Amino acid sequence: MILRTPPQRKRRAGSGAGDDADLGLVKSVGVASATGRSPVSDRRLALYDRPTALALADAPGEPFDDMVCTYHCRQMVKSEFMVALDTAEKQVQEYQTKLVALEDQLSKSEDERMQFLDKLNYVEQELAATKGRESALQERLLKELGEYQERYRGQVMKINELEVQLNKEIDSRISAESSVSSAKALIKDLEGDLHRLSESSEREKKTLKKELSYVKEDLSLSASKNNAELEKTILRAENYESEAKLLNEQLTNLKKQLDECLSEKNEMELKLLNSSALPNQHAPTEEQKLIKLLQEELRNYEKEVHEAKRLKSSHMNVELLKEKLLEEQGRRERAELELSKLQEIGARAHKLELELASCTALLSNIPDVSSYADIPQKIADLQKQALTYLNEVGEVTSRLKELEVALEYADLSKQQAEGEAALAKERAASATREVKRLELMVSSTCLLRSVKKEIS
């Protein structure tokens, strides 16, 4: 607060003379102002807070008790006002530098937001590519399963044909054994007849002996023929049995190889980098081709595992994006704090404007200024600067709102990416289930073959 001069003392007896002196001072001040000289140059007193025209318009005999201010008081008021003006200008410059820093931060945040949007688009493209790969892998698996089922059916048909041939050979052997048993029974019957005939007559005995010799020769020939045929059928049966054993051995080998392939599948995740070429095999057979196809299927399954790992890495990228979004939210909170500070600064600026208005009211009565019109012009300039500052604050708030909208859009895109990652995980789980189902089918085929081997 600017302290004025103390109130005037009580009037003495010669108050009329004092009033006349005051009127003389007013006139002298008017004359000095008309001639362009300062009323303080001759160290005289001037009226404070009272226009000269009004002072002259009053009645000459009417007393007035106005307060007066000395030259030193006016100089003190002027210096205080100039100090306040300098501090206000310094604060305006500081606020302008803060605004520039805030605009730089906003531009940086917009660049980072564009980078995050590019990263989100890249993640979405990778997810679409993984979807296409998964669909292609599923189609390939279905084709390979169809081929495997057709081959399995062909093997089952061949096994059924071999079983039919074995049954035919067994039936032929049984018929040969029945014919031999019937021939033996006939021989016994003939011998009984011979014994009966020998008792009847010796002639018939001789003839019968001759006939018996002929019959024995025929029987021996037929028996030898039957024995040869039996040996042939036995050899054929043994050959078929050996072939069946070989097939069963091949089936067991295939089962072992399948078990080895399954064990290799479990170990391939640790030996991908050190994996070498497949060992050299013997001449290609149908069973070895099946083994190769199964190995190729296992490789395809390993590729699916790699794809699942890539999906896991994309999930890790999504988690990194989450962390960056959290950082962006922290920055947004900081920007909101800066906004609150800016609002406080605006309130302070308003207070400063009020103080400047009071200072201008005080400066309106200071005569040492070159022209009275300069002070309102400066005040108007300061007001314009304050208005521009407020406009810039409004622009900053609008930009912050745009950033909040962009962050909400980024949150939505993040949720979409998380949903797509969950779908990719479910598809990977379905692929693993398909692998398990195929393993169960292979084990069931091995069990069926073992059962057929036991039946045969």
Which pLDDT score, from 0 to 100, does residue 64 have?
A: 43
Q: In angstroms, how far is the first alpha carbon of the chain from the final one? A: 120
Inside any domain, residue 230: no
For the whole model, what pTM was predicted?
0.22
Inside any domain, residue 13: yes
How far is Cα 339 from Cα 254, in angstroms, rounded to an integer?
75
Which pLDDT score, from 0 to 100, does residue 205 have?
A: 55
How would you classify the pairing of strands 68-69 and 46-47? antiparallel
Inside any domain, residue 38: yes
Contact in structure between 283 and 300 (CB atoms under 8 Å): no
Inside any domain, residue 391: no
Which pLDDT score, from 0 to 100, does residue 45 have?
A: 44
Inside any domain, residue 245: no
DSSP 326-338: HHHHHHHHHHHHH
Buried b (16+ CB within 10 A) or exposed e, 201-237: eeeebeebeeebeeeeeebeeebeebeebbeebeebe
User: Residue 33 belongs to what domain range?
Assistant: 1-69
SS3 11: coil
How far is Cα 194 from Cα 215, in angstroms, rounded to an integer?
12
Buried b (16+ CB within 10 A) or exposed e, 108-118: ebeeebeebee
Inside any domain, residue 275: no
Inside any domain, residue 327: no
Which pLDDT score, from 0 to 100, does residue 170 have?
A: 72
Burial of 349 (0-12, 13-18, 19+ CB in 10 A): buried
| Per-run averaged pLDDT (10 residues), the chain, 456 residues | 49 46 45 43 45 44 49 83 89 88 84 80 77 80 76 75 73 67 64 58 62 66 70 70 66 65 66 49 58 73 64 62 71 74 73 70 55 60 72 75 74 74 77 79 77 72
Give the count of domains, the chain.
Answer: 1
Inside any domain, residue 148: no
Which pLDDT score, from 0 to 100, does residue 177 have?
A: 67
SS3 68: strand
Structure tokens at 351: 């207070």
- State whether the Cα torsion 187-193-196-200 is positive or negative: negative
Q: Checking phi first, is residue 276 left (phi over 0); if not, alpha (psi -120 to 50) or beta?
A: beta
Which pLDDT score, from 0 to 100, does residue 248 have?
A: 63
